[in-house]
């Protein structure tokens, strides 16, 4: 029975997610309105989206051991390419979405083939340089294509009617949930494949993989391209959820946020990046509301100033989780079980001591 529960427990959260749009359950403190209200569904959809992005990013960090500081570039590519395909080429949404994902895959293949020629911190710096170049390009607004700091809105006339308007927020939520399930399936399938086992070997000891006669470069490039394609598809979903493309999606801060999500949840685990992405996104929105609330405004200056900055609160949360839960939230159940096992073992050892020995 325990083995069955351990295998099928994800069905419980999935059922709850499927029922969320039909529920009027109030969750004070967690959400502003009932669970199925448009505002709550919008926040939940963003949480699911970033949970999927963190899971895709963990293909690089946790599965292959590649620390990339430019992953947001492929997310922004899918976002902007889809938007521009509709605005400039007047493509329908489905064709524009395919074009955006294809651009992300092509860019990941091109830049990955260059960046993966080096390893370690040099690789991280190369990916950061690419990301910074992309962010500058978006800010410069060449030919008026990106909209600069203002970004560009998606053309409502080319989007399906069922995805436009606050009354259709539930449909956007379904798309975000479907994207999450697709991402988790791709990550699980690739990580469990023979290629995924080579990724694990590269993460542990790349030189040993070379000794076995395998060429790590090709395997790392596959991980880089798959992760880039998943990020690009996330950009398409983000375009639907926010109704436009903004330069914040291309900033290096976006990749750092993904890194924090993965570390919070647990790098290299099946569910950790998803948990970290959901928690970080929810906290970023809810702590922003707390920072501007009347309760914080009435505090003394020594408390009001730091608490009015959401990044300070997020930083404190991150430090607390890293310090109290090394390995991330996903490893908490195993730590609790090991703690109970240790206490049980010590109790059994104490009970086994003979009375005469104890008196002596």
Q: Residue 118: which of 220, 196, 44, 45 has the closest Cα?
A: 220
Decide if 130 is inside a domain.
yes
Decide if 355 is inside a domain.
no
Per-residue pLDDT reduced to its tens digit, 221-266:
999 999 999 999 999 999 999 999 998 888 878 888 899 999 999 9
Q: Residue 264: which of 338, 333, 337, 314 has the closest Cα?
A: 314
Residue 113 confidence (pLDDT) above 50: yes
Is the CB of residue 86 less than 8 Å from the CB of residue 155?
yes
- According to the model, what pLDDT value does residue 53 have? 97
Identify which has the larger pLDDT, 136 or 318.
136
Can you state the angle between helices 169-192 and 194-204, rounded to 10 degrees? 80
Mean of all residue pLDDT scores within the chain: 87
- According to the model, what pLDDT value does residue 94 have? 95
Q: Residue 202: which of 87, 99, 123 has the closest Cα?
A: 123
- Write the DSSP symbol of residue 153: E
- According to the model, what pLDDT value does residue 359 have? 40
Decide if 357 is inside a domain.
no
Q: Residue 281: which of 325, 234, 244 has the closest Cα?
A: 234
Decide if 228 is inside a domain.
yes
- According to the model, what pLDDT value does residue 33 have? 87
Domain of 334, CATH number, reads: 1.10.3470
Per-residue pLDDT reduced to its tens digit, 277-311:
999 999 888 877 777 777 777 777 777 777 677 67
The mean per-residue pLDDT over the stretch 301-322 comes to 74
- According to the model, what pLDDT value does residue 360 have? 37
pTM of the model: 0.89
Report the alpha-carbon angle 48-175-276, nearest 5.
10
Is the CB of residue 243 less than 8 Å from the CB of residue 165?
no
Structural domain that includes position 282: 36-347
Per-residue pLDDT reduced to its tens digit, 177-208:
999 999 999 999 999 999 999 999 999 999 99
Decide if 359 is inside a domain.
no
The mean per-residue pLDDT over the stretch 45-60 comes to 96
Nearest-angstrom CA–CA distance, 76 and 15: 31
How many structural domains compose the chain?
Answer: 1
Residue 90 confidence (pLDDT) above 50: yes
The residue to which tokens 């049980």 are assigned: 344
The secondary element (H helix, E strand) that includes residue 244 is strand 244-245
Torsion angle (degrees, nearest 10) of CA 271, 59, 322, 256: -120
In 3-state terms, what secondary structure has residue 43? helix
């Amino acid at each position: 029975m325990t083995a069955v529960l351990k295998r099928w427990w994800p069905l419980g959260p999935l059922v709850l997610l499927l029922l969320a749009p039909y529920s009027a359950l109030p969750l004070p403190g967690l959400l502003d309105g009932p669970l199925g209200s448009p505002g709550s569904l919008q926040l939940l959809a963003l949480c699911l989206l970033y949970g999927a992005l963190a899971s895709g990013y963990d293909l690089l960090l946790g599965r292959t051991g590649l620390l990339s500081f430019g992953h947001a570039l492929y997310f922004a590519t899918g976002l902007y390419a889809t938007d521009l395909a509709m605005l400039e080429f007047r493509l329908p949404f489905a064709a524009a979405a395919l074009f955006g994902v294809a651009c992300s895959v092509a860019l990941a293949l091109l830049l990955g083939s260059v960046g993966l020629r080096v390893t370690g911190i040099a690789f991280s710096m190369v990916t950061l340089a690419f990301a910074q170049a992309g962010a500058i390009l978006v800010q410069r607004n060449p030919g008026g294509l990106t909209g600069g700091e203002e970004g560009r809105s998606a053309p409502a006339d080319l989007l399906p009617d069922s995805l436009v308007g606050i009354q259709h927020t539930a449909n956007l939520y379904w798309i975000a949930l479907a994207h999450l399930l697709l991402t988790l399936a791709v990550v699980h399938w690739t990580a469990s494949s023979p290629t995924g086992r080579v990724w694990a070997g590269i993460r542990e000891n790349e030189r040993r993989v070379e000794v076995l006669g395998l060429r790590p470069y090709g395997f790392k490039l596959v991980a880089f391209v798959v992760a880039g394609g998943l990020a690009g598809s996330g950009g398409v979903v983000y375009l639907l959820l926010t109704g436009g493309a903004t330069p914040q999606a291309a900033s290096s801060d976006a990749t750092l946020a993904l890194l924090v999500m993965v570390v919070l949840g647990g790098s290299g685990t099946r569910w950790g990046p998803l948990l970290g992405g959901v928690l970080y996104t929810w906290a970023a929105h809810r702590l922003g509301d707390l920072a501007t609330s009347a309760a914080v405004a009435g505090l003394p200056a020594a408390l009001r100033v730091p608490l009015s900055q959401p990044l300070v609160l997020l930083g404190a949360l991150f430090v607390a989780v890293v310090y109290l839960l090394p390995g991330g939230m996903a490893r908490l159940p195993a730590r609790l079980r090991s703690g109970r096992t240790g206490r049980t073992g010590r109790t059994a050892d104490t009970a086994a001591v003979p009375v005469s020995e104890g008196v002596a």
